[in-house]
Structure formats: C-alpha cells, structure tokens
Amino acid sequence: MTWKRKDLLAIQPLEAAEITHVIDTAGSMREIGARDIKKVPTLRGKTVVNLFYEPSTRTRTSFEIAGKWLSADVINFTASSSSVGKGESMLDTARNIEAMRPDVVVVRHQSSGAADLLARTLRCGIVNAGDGAHEHPTQALQDLLTIREKKGHLEGLHVAIVGDIAHSRVARSNIHGMRKLGMTVTVAGPPTLIPHGVQELGVKVSHRLDDAIRDVDVIMMLRLQQERMTAQLIPSLREYSRYWGLTLDRLASGARPDVLIMHPGPVNRGVELSPEVADGPYSVILDQVQNGVAVRMAVLFLLAGSKAAQGAAAA
C-alpha cells in the first residue's frame, strides 16, 4: 500500500486500505513525541503553510508541532474570511502563497468545498483541516487511531455520535471512515440538528440519548455552538444540556462499563459533557489530542514524501 494522492481533502473518497495505511503510519510515528529530542529530519527543507481562515488554536498548533517535529519549515498564515467585496479573495491569497512554493498547504475555512477549490487551483499538496460542515479528515483519522489503540481493533464496533450532526464536519468524516472500516454508527440528537437524508450514509438515527448510548463501544459527543439557538434550531442551552448532555448518571443507567467517551474539543463543560465525564475514567479526549499530532505527522510525511506531490510541486 502506497499513498498516491496529491491531497487529503476528505475521508469519503478514500478506500479502507488507504485509511488503514495512514493510521498505521501514525501509530509508528507516535513514539517521536515520547523522545527527549522530538525531531526527525524527514521533511527537512520542506515548507508547510498553515492557511487558517477560521481561528483555531488547537488544530493549527497540532499541525505546527507535527511539521516541526518532522523538521519542516512551518508558516502560519491567518487570513480573514473572504466575504464578497471585502479584502483579498481566497483564490488570490492562495495564488500568492503558491508563488512562494510551499510543499504542502494545510487549509481550514468556513466554506464547505474550500479545500477542493484550493486543490484544483494549487499545484502543491493540500490537507483539509476543516471546510465548513463538509469534512475534517485528520480529526477522523486521529479518532480512529484512538479507538483502535484502546479497543485493539475497529471492525464490528458500534459508535454513537451525539449532538449537532447537521453542522459537523467531524461527524461526516467519522461516519465515512467508520463505515468503510466495518463499524456501526448511530447518530443522535434533536431532529433539528440531524441533517436530511443522513440515513443514506449508512447510519442509524436516534432521537433519545439514553437509547443511543446503550451498549455502544464508543460515545462521541459533539460541541454545541451558540449560533444554533439564534438559528431557531433549539430553544435554549439549558434544555439542550438537560436532554442531551452526558452525565455520569446517564452513563450509569445503560452504557457499557468499558465505553470510551470522545470529543473533538473544545468541550463545553456542563453542556454536552459534565465535568466529571469530561475528566473521568471513560474519557479518552487527551489521547485524541496526542494521536492528533501523530496523525498529522503521518499525513504531512505521506503527502510531502510522495512522488505524486513531489511531481506536482516541481511542475
């Protein structure tokens, strides 16, 4: 299995073997973070540009650390959102950056399809760090790596993804990855936060938290954003956390004793997760973060080191 793609834009087009290859590579690279000298010379002389239109300290820092541990030169470019008429258009910014000949551009943007747009326009490899509500492939990869590390395998496991599925790129990427690797997925949330036709993606749907978390191996809680209330999707945070917040009591009444609690972060303690659950024994949230750096190292290595990306950048 060799990585042959110029970009990592989404999980949906990947085959199971490709997903497994990335996770395996990440697993092998995890030990770099445990060393005294956290450095390998692999991407020495390569330039990685973090093009972040949405503010995001955690993901950007994760990519930055990953690039630096691989000895790459990492440049952070925080651009303001490209609304029509204001400032430089996204394509103009991208073309300017390309003129500086980066090897990989990592992009996060609030518009779905933004990473695809860049991949069509730029010659270098593109990593999608989150585009609108579409996909966040490295998040799903780090989640899958974490689950495999804790459970020893992936196939046959049952995962419940709970919360604002409609607006979640994390949910979409994970759904695609889990389905391809033979896992069962249930999405759960109030009907206004479950997108139209989601069953077509091969998932079950539940509108009651207690049903959704019963007997599953993994519970993945999603962040609820404030904007959902002004958008008239839920009446109040109070009601949401009462019916959809995960507490120890709710876990005690039906979840498996070896269940994993996951969250892509940042956690709204008291809303989707009570502090005891977020910081408790079932939570693997910090493992997710650690694995995130390993996954991003693997992705940068595969993209910057692949002949496809090399050939494209040199052209």
Check residue 197 for interaction with another protein (CB under 8 A): yes
220 forms beta bridges with 161, 262
> Which of 112, 151, 204, 243 is in the footprint of another protein by CB under 8 A?
112
For 196: left if phi > 0, alpha if psi spans -120 to 50, otherwise beta; the answer is: beta
Interaction with another protein in 230-269: which residues (CB under 8 A)?
A: none
Give the integer Cα–Cα distance in Å for 184 and 198: 14
From the list 209-217, 222-230, 248-256, 303-311, the region that binds another protein by CB under 8 A is 303-311
> Which of 76, 111, 184, 247 is in the footprint of another protein by CB under 8 A?
111
In the complex, what is the shortest distance from the CB of residue 203 to another protein, in angstroms, rounded to a whole number? 11
The answer to whether the beta carbons of residues 146 and 207 sit under 8 Å apart is no
221 forms beta bridges with 162
The answer to whether the beta carbons of residues 126 and 52 sit under 8 Å apart is no
Interaction with another protein in 74-103: which residues (CB under 8 A)?
A: 82-84, 89-91
Angle of helix 137-151 relative to helix 285-304, nearest 10 degrees?
A: 120
Report the residue number, 61 or 306, with the smaller CB distance to another protein: 306
188 forms beta bridges with 162, 206
Give the integer Cα–Cα distance in Å for 91 and 290: 33
Check residue 307 for interaction with another protein (CB under 8 A): yes
In the complex, what is the shortest distance from the CB of residue 200 to another protein, in angstroms, rounded to a whole number? 5
Check residue 180 for interaction with another protein (CB under 8 A): no
Residue-wise burial string across 85-112, b where 16 or more C-beta atoms lie within 10 A, e elsewhere: eeeeebeebbeebbeeebbbbbbbbebe
Check residue 20 for interaction with another protein (CB under 8 A): no
> Which of 108, 109, 180, 223 is in the footprint of another protein by CB under 8 A?
109
Check residue 201 for interaction with another protein (CB under 8 A): yes
Report the residue number, 111 or 184, with the smaller CB distance to another protein: 111
Q: Distance of CA 49 to CAs 33, 128, 150, 240, Å? A: 22, 12, 32, 38
Check residue 18 for interaction with another protein (CB under 8 A): no
Separation of CA 184 from chain center: 19
> Which of 49, 106, 122, 133 is in the footprint of another protein by CB under 8 A?
133
> Which residues contact another protein by CB under 8 A?
1-3, 12, 21, 24-25, 27-29, 31-32, 35-37, 39-42, 70, 82-84, 89-91, 109, 111-114, 116-117, 131-135, 166, 169, 172, 195-198, 200-201, 298, 301-302, 304-307, 310
